[in-house]
Amino acid sequence: MVIDSTFWVAVSFIIFFGGLIYLKVPQKINEILNKLILDIKNEIDESEKLRTEAKILLERAQKKLDTAQAVRNEILDQAKKDSDRLIIELNDKFHRSSEIKKNSAENKILQMKETAIKEIKNASINIAVDSVKKIITTSVDKSKLDTLFQKNLEETKEELKKINS
């Protein structure tokens, strides 16, 4: 039997692995690996749990967002309806007030016209009376005037009695 370097490598290999087994290194490595596997598994479970919670939170947030958008749309629709109604009301009020102002202006014009006609009639009557006075005083003597006045006075009294009866 020849002992060469390969034999000694094999013996040292066996002693090395025997020492490792004696010192329970494979069990310690196994325990460390099991612990690492367990830690990784716990982290995976925790991350799965966090992912599920995040998904639930995302769904809730999405529902809230959808609800907020629906409420926003309702508010916008209601605001549009209110603004349309308000515009119609203001338009109606404007037309009514302009109609009232128009009628008021027409009434004022009619009143001013009637007042002007009365003033013109009064002025015409005053001018006519003044003219008749001048004509009578210049053309008729005093005695004829007194008799004419008495005659007209009597006629006026009789007419007034007829009207009153």
> What's the pLDDT at 136?
64
Close Cβ partners of 26 (under 8 Å, ≥ 6 residues apart): 20
Polymer length of the chain? 165
164 burial class (0-12, 13-18, 19+ CB within 10 angstroms)?
exposed
Distance of CA 150 to the CA centre of its chain: 83
Range of the domain at 100: 5-164
Cα dihedral across residues 49, 55, 58, 62: positive or negative: negative
Please give the pLDDT value at position 33: 94
Residue found under tokens 């959808």:
66
- Angle, helices 25-139/5-22, rounded to nearest 10 degrees: 60
**pLDDT score at 140:** 61
User: For 39-106, what is the HEC assignment?
Assistant: HHHHHHHHHHHHHHHHHHHHHHHHHHHHHHHHHHHHHHHHHHHHHHHHHHHHHHHHHHHHHHHHHHHH
Residues 129 and 159: their CA atoms lie apart, in Å, by: 20
Domain count, the chain: 1
Whole-number Å distance between alpha carbons of 86 and 80: 10
Mean pLDDT by 10-residue block, N- to C-terminus, for the chain (165 residues)?
A: 81 87 84 95 95 96 95 95 93 92 92 88 77 69 73 77 71
Tokens of 42: 């716990």
Which of these, 81, 105, 76, 78, lies nearest to 89 by C-alpha position?
A: 81
